[in-house]
Chains A and B, each alone.
Chain A
Amino acid sequence: MSHTRKIDKSSSRLIARHRFFVALRHIVLALWSVTTLYPVIWVFLNSFRDNSQIYVNPFALPNPIILKSFPQVLQGAQLQIAIPNSLIYAAVTVFVTVILAAMTSFYLSKFPKRNGFLYTYFILGIMIPVHALLIPLFVTMRNMGLLNSRLGILIVYVATSLSFAIFVLTGFMRKGIPDELIEAAVIDGYGPVRIFFRIALPLTQSGIATVGTFTFLGIWNEFLFALILLSKPALRTLNLTVYNLRGQYSSDQGLMAAGATVLIVPAILIYVIFQERVVKGLTAGAVKG
């Protein structure tokens, strides 16, 4: 009887110690989550307030809720132009990059004839920072008359997205498409084009989704090329127009907060909906030196 009590006592001490550490762990993680979320929430709330409210107390909740910043952002930033622009650039880049990269990867993974060099050549691009391309691409686009044109920026986006897409898709196709399947298809009289569309593409879906998410977010968030290649308001991206607000209305805090909110909300929505895919896409970018 007394023996069991002793065990109970020491094990309850262990359990207490364990509980304490579990609690400590959650406190640390919760504190950090707050550090992560707080700036986002603060900016979001302030987008519903105006300067007079914000200057009195930066931390208060909107009271009353003021909606004037959003229509003003809509007008000043020309969101009805900027959002479709950003969507078009991202969607077209994803579509073209995926098709071109999938075709190339199909060749690199399923035609064994000494193409290791070509693979390395394409993959080199992953290590090249866009900064090293910025100035010559600006000059090239100017000389081609493609500054301030959708085609110009799309070419740049596709060219800088290809390497990573080829890297991921070649990996997927090497592992994901059994050679026997292609042999069987050839015996059935399929040509390379049909094999590509009917077999290679469907079997690489998951890789395509990863590349697609990564590329889409990358272009949606892209700033540097848009800054130097697009100055015409009608062609500007969302990032660029909201950045311009900073110059025009830097003293209107509510308006700037609304601008930041407009940039943040779509990215958060994409993240919430496609969470696993986004995490996979962006951490696959881990190899992107």
Chain B
Amino acid sequence: MHVLQKHRWAPFILAGPSFAIYTYFVIVSIGYTVYYSLTKWNAISKPVFLGLKNYADLLQSADFRIVMENTVTGLVIALILQVGLGLLFAYLIFRTRRAFRLYRALVFLPVVLSPAAVALMFTLVFNADVGPVNAILKDVGLTSLTRNWLADKNVVFYAVLTPMIWQFIGLYVVILLAGMQSIPDDVIQSATIDGASSFRTFRSIVIPMQWDIIFICVTMITSGSFKAFEHSYIMTWGGPGVRSAFLGVFMYNKTFLSAQFGVGTAIAMVILVATLVITVIFRSITRRLDY
């Protein structure tokens, strides 16, 4: 808008406050994260410069390996369920005329709840004495499968993963559904007239036209698995040990419980670099698919 150009002070007044707040508290903070991660620091005395030692120590640490295994396992399961089942459910809703809006509203409901509330809910659901999981297993005669879900180190990770997947699958269903609704009606109609079965339409028309949206979901789920925190922290504090911990909880414990700010920020850097790399790679793939 050239007519506005003559107001030379306007850019500073308009963009200045956001620029200052964003630069100081976001961009400069990243700089501090990088710097702290190269030091040994308890947040009180002077930081001691270590170079890359924190990173080397992390790679050696058994706890870090468990946490990374948790992250990758959780990611694979989340991709299968949230994208796989998500696509199926989205398509079922897409092909439903009656109660379309009702189903969509219901599946999206958990997305709006606070992760803390959902974590608290599932703490009760997995309660060994009164939780419905054990109660149902007992009722159907599978008493041998009942567990102390939040304390048994072999299953605790899956107990923590369940609410994470349960809560956000609806988000991906709604995103995928929006993508399906953008497919022109006549494409679907002519497939039906040509005698394509519902499944055939799904496989040959819906999926190929959805690749970019599926990719957005994959990006979100992948970077989300590096950012997981609340469910694991609230249900088990990541324990026993780090059995049910994700990187966020590991970082929190190292920083605020053991006062190892250097190690904590090194873990933060792992989260930052992983999410940035994933986002950039997937974005460029999506863009290539577009053209």
Question: Contact check: which of A113, A128, A192, A268 meets B272 at CB < 8 Å?
Answer: A128
Question: Contact check: which of B32, B105, B121, B251 meets A40 at CB < 8 Å?
Answer: B121
Closest Cβ of chain A: how far from B126's Cβ, in Å? 10
Closest Cβ of chain B: how far from A246's Cβ, in Å? 6
Q: Are B21 and A158 in contact (CB under 8 A)?
A: yes
- The answer, yes or no, to whether A1 is at the interface (CB within 8 Å) is no
- The answer, yes or no, to whether B116 is at the interface (CB within 8 Å) is yes
Q: Give Cα A218 to B87, complex, Å.
A: 26
| Complex interface: chain B residues within 8 A of A155 (CB) | 21, 25
Q: Give Cα A97 to B88, complex, Å.
A: 38
**Chain A interface: which size bin?**
35 or more
- With A158-B21, A228-B256, A282-B112 given, is the CB distance from A256 to B130 under 8 Å? no
- The answer, yes or no, to whether A58 is at the interface (CB within 8 Å) is yes
Question: Contact check: which of A106, A115, A139 meets B32 at CB < 8 Å?
Answer: A139
Closest Cβ of chain A: how far from B3's Cβ, in Å? 4
- The answer, yes or no, to whether A104 is at the interface (CB within 8 Å) is yes
What total of A-B pairs shows CB separation below 8 Å? 273
Question: Which of B5, B120, B234 has the most chain A CB atoms inside 10 A of its CB?
Answer: B120
- With A36-B107, A111-B10 given, is the CB distance from A128 to B30 under 8 Å? yes
Q: Are A256 and B123 in contact (CB under 8 A)?
A: yes
Question: Which of A37, A46, A103, A288 has the most chain B CB atoms inside 10 A of its CB?
Answer: A103
Question: Contact check: which of A54, A137, A142, A275 meets B29 at CB < 8 Å?
Answer: A137
Q: Are A135 and B268 in contact (CB under 8 A)?
A: yes
Q: Give Cα A243 to B115, complex, Å.
A: 11
Closest Cβ of chain A: how far from B191's Cβ, in Å? 16
Q: Give Cα A186 to B108, complex, Å.
A: 45
- With A136-B29, A159-B21 given, is the CB distance from A129 to B272 under 8 Å? yes
Q: Are B96 and A246 in contact (CB under 8 A)?
A: no
- The answer, yes or no, to whether A253 is at the interface (CB within 8 Å) is yes
Q: Give Cα A22 to B186, complex, Å.
A: 21
Q: Give Cα A242 to B92, complex, Å.
A: 37
Q: Nearest residue in B to A196 (C-beta to C-beta)?
A: B14
Within 8 A of A (CB), among B249-281: 251-252, 255-256, 261, 264-265, 268-269, 271-272, 275-276, 278-279
Q: Are B276 and A220 in contact (CB under 8 A)?
A: no
Q: Are A223 and B114 in contact (CB under 8 A)?
A: yes
Closest Cβ of chain A: how far from B129's Cβ, in Å? 7
Question: Which of A35, A134, A228 has the most chain B CB atoms inside 10 A of its CB?
Answer: A134
Q: Are A132 and B268 in contact (CB under 8 A)?
A: yes
Please classify the interface of chain A as helix (H, G, I), strand (E, B), loop, or mixed, using the class held by over half of its residues: helix
Q: Are B220 and A286 in contact (CB under 8 A)?
A: yes
Question: Contact check: which of A137, A224, A259, A283 meets B178 at CB < 8 Å?
Answer: A283
Closest Cβ of chain B: how far from A60's Cβ, in Å? 11
- With A36-B106, A128-B272, A283-B178 given, is the CB distance from A103 to B220 under 8 Å? no
Q: Nearest residue in A to B125 (C-beta to C-beta)?
A: A39
Question: Contact check: which of B26, B89, B230 meets A125 at CB < 8 Å?
Answer: B26
Q: Give Cα A37 to B166, complex, Å.
A: 11
Within 8 A of B (CB), among A261-289: 263-264, 267-268, 270-271, 275, 278-279, 282-283, 286-289
Q: Give Cα A246 to B231, complex, Å.
A: 13
Q: Nearest residue in A to B283 (C-beta to C-beta)?
A: A289
Q: Are A131 and B229 in contact (CB under 8 A)?
A: yes
Question: Contact check: which of B18, B33, B135, B279 meets A103 at CB < 8 Å?
Answer: B18
Give the segment of A2-10, A24-32, A61-69, A203-211 that binds chain B: A24-32
Within 8 A of A (CB), among B23-44: 24-26, 28-30, 32-33, 36, 43
Q: Write 11 A-B pairs (CB below 8 A) sorted by A numbering.
A: A37-B109, A59-B135, A100-B17, A103-B13, A113-B5, A130-B227, A132-B33, A134-B255, A156-B25, A192-B7, A288-B220
8 shortest interchain CB distances as A-B pairs:
A221-B114, A263-B117, A136-B32, A289-B279, A159-B25, A132-B272, A107-B14, A136-B29
